[in-house]
Structure 1
Amino acid sequence: MNSRCDVSKESDAKDDFVFECDRTFCPPEKLEHCPLLQLGLRQPRGDENLTHRLDNGLQSLKRTLKCPRSYKALFVDAAGTLIEASQSTQQVYHEIGLKYGVKLSEDEIAAKYKAAYGHPWCRFRMRYEDDGRLYWQRIVQEATGCKDPGLLEDLYQYYTTDKAWHIGDPDAEKALKAIRNAGIKVAVVSNFDTRLRPLMKLLGCYDWFDSIVVSAEVGVEKPNPEIFLIACKELGVKPEQVLHVGNDKTNDLVGATEAGCDSLLWGVEVVNFTEVAKKLGIKV
């Protein structure tokens, strides 16, 4: 649920990418076959592993963007794609934290939150198990320096309200309805705790989808390809018949690619669901 924080987890694209191919990924004798060069894509600097993992999906992505295949399903990420936080995390933590004696500024909270969110979690546990409180307890304590359980509870309850979230694309319902009317099944595939379903009902978007797959409910989270395969099984489709849209390069692009699905990066390759529909060859 990465997008709950308004703090940038990725620097500007101009700084993150270089146009040249990484020679460790494409040896000189294979440069002419390099998909990065053929597609004119930029490669993440210093992340050869991510580039290698994405390579298998580059050609299918090229087909998707230039000539939409006959997809049978669309998967959509939740936080940061379908729904967005209405206030930055540092602002919320600061305002509610004042009640519990938190003296940190919003900038200080932002830096500590980013560091806490980036720390490895337990190797044998998901971040969002059940209601996710165990994970958020650590995040809140590290971001604010406050161990008062009341702060965690106030913040936790705040993020169950429609004050905390909103539908990012005002035309999402119209576009998703057009996609479903065209015979394409639509599902949410999200790393989230058990608050997601009631939250979607509160925001009025629960019935827009044929299926909702939540990591806390199925016991596996992105980028593990298994969560995408679970969604495929629920909708009765094959991975190659699926297009996934999400805002996280690793969780959404790498995860979907390893599951055998095509993918689009929300906020970069598409910025609203009307554009997603267009990629599917559907007019809204």
Structure 2
Amino acid sequence: MKTSEPIGKAKRIFCGDCRLPFRSILLSSTFRVSPIVIRCWTLGACRAVALRRWVRRSTFFVDMTEAIFFDAVGTLFYLTKTVGDHYALVGREVGLTLDAQQLDRAFFTAWRRMPPRAAIDGPRENDDKGWWRELVDLVLDEVAPSLGELDRDNFFEVAYEHFAEAGVWELYPEVSDVLEKLQPRYELAVISNFDGRLRFILEQLGISKFFAHIFISSEIGADKPDPEIYRRALKFMNLKPDQVLYVGDDPDRDWKAAAATGLSVFELDREKNSLRDLLRIV
């Protein structure tokens, strides 16, 4: 940032990014700045605001952070259309006419009804498709209760493959640039309740190369919001909670659960911030 406004023998410093003045920071013979440009993430007032606003845990210190864990859906990438739109498209592929809005409402009702799975000692073998099949059956019970078993089987199999296609998902615009800047400085990992399709999706979206580890709930034997999923990831990477910053968009599955494990949490809310704001605080 550039200095301005001489005050006696000192000068006030203004942030080169947000133009806010630093608080109680003056250039003097005992305070040397090299190089002249100082960014928000070093000493800026707006960095302090970002820390207070978006990072849970007052004991967060950048110097202690060795790794950053990311949620997947809603944090790194998103569906190109609504779930209902995609289910209606799948329906047309198997010869069914289904209403997208009804499907969307039924999906989120079914999602809330799905019971949480207790943590187990090892991976859940072949459990991913079983969980999704149960959810899809709840959706179809609501929108097409008379649908026969064969049609349900066809719908589910096509839907399961459909959501593994990269074209169904899209990166948030800042993701690649942010990950590229963070990777040289931190060990990056993903923690997600998705399933084995996640690795293919990350590869197709061009960001799998940034992550040292990808932790999938069915493979690790614990689901969010159970703090056990975070504890197992920490153990695998030989890290302590205060060495990790977690980034996610869900208040319950991400923010509360990760904080309960002792992680610092960047509370992603895309109406208020983005992953680019990470670069202001780490």
Q: Same fold (TM over 0.5)?
A: yes
Q: CA RMSD of the aligned region, Å?
A: 2.6
**Any stretches of 5+ residues in structure 2 without a counterpart?**
1-53
Give 1:133's match in structure 2, choosing from 116, 124, 129. Answer: 129
How is 1:24-63 mapped onto 2 (pairs within 5 angstroms)? 61-62=57-58
Larger radius of gyration: 2
Number of the residue aligned with 1:222: 224
Query: With structure 2 as the length reference, what TM-score do the two structures score?
Result: 0.69
8 A Cα contact 2:85 2:100, kept in partner: yes
Number of the residue aligned with 1:74: 68
Task: Kindly indicate which of the two structures has a greater share of residues assigned to helix.
Answer: 1
* Cα 1:227/1:173, change in 2 over 3 Å: same
8 A Cα contact 1:130 1:217, kept in partner: no
Report the count of equivalent residues: 218
Report how far residue 68 of structure 1 moved.
4.6
For residues 252 and 210 of structure 2, the distance between their equivalents in structure 1, rounded to whole angstroms, comes to: 26
Aligned sequence identity (%): 27
Give 1:110's match in structure 2, choosing from 104, 111, 123. Answer: 104
For residues 233 and 123 of structure 1, the distance between their equivalents in structure 2, rounded to whole angstroms, comes to: 21
For residues 157 and 213 of structure 1, the distance between their equivalents in structure 2, rounded to whole angstroms, comes to: 21
Number of the residue aligned with 1:239: 241
Task: Kindly indicate which of the two structures has a greater share of residues assigned to strand.
Answer: 2
For 1:260, what is the secondary structure of its paired residue? coil
Query: With structure 1 as the length reference, what TM-score do the two structures score?
Result: 0.69
**What do residues 115-171 of structure 1 show as CA deviations (whole Å, max 9, x unaligned)?**
111103265589x86462112212222223344211111111111111111212x33
For 1:163, what is the secondary structure of its paired residue? helix
* Cα 1:173/1:100, change in 2 over 3 Å: closer
**Any stretches of 5+ residues in structure 1 without a counterpart?**
1-57
* Cα 1:125/1:260, change in 2 over 3 Å: closer
How is 1:68-217 mapped onto 2 (pairs within 5 angstroms)? 68=62, 70-100=64-94, 102-121=96-115, 124=118, 130=126, 132-144=128-140, 145=144, 146=147, 147=149, 148=151, 149-168=153-172, 170-182=173-185, 184-217=186-219
**What do residues 258-282 of structure 1 show as CA deviations (whole Å, max 9, x unaligned)?**
11101122225864322112121xx
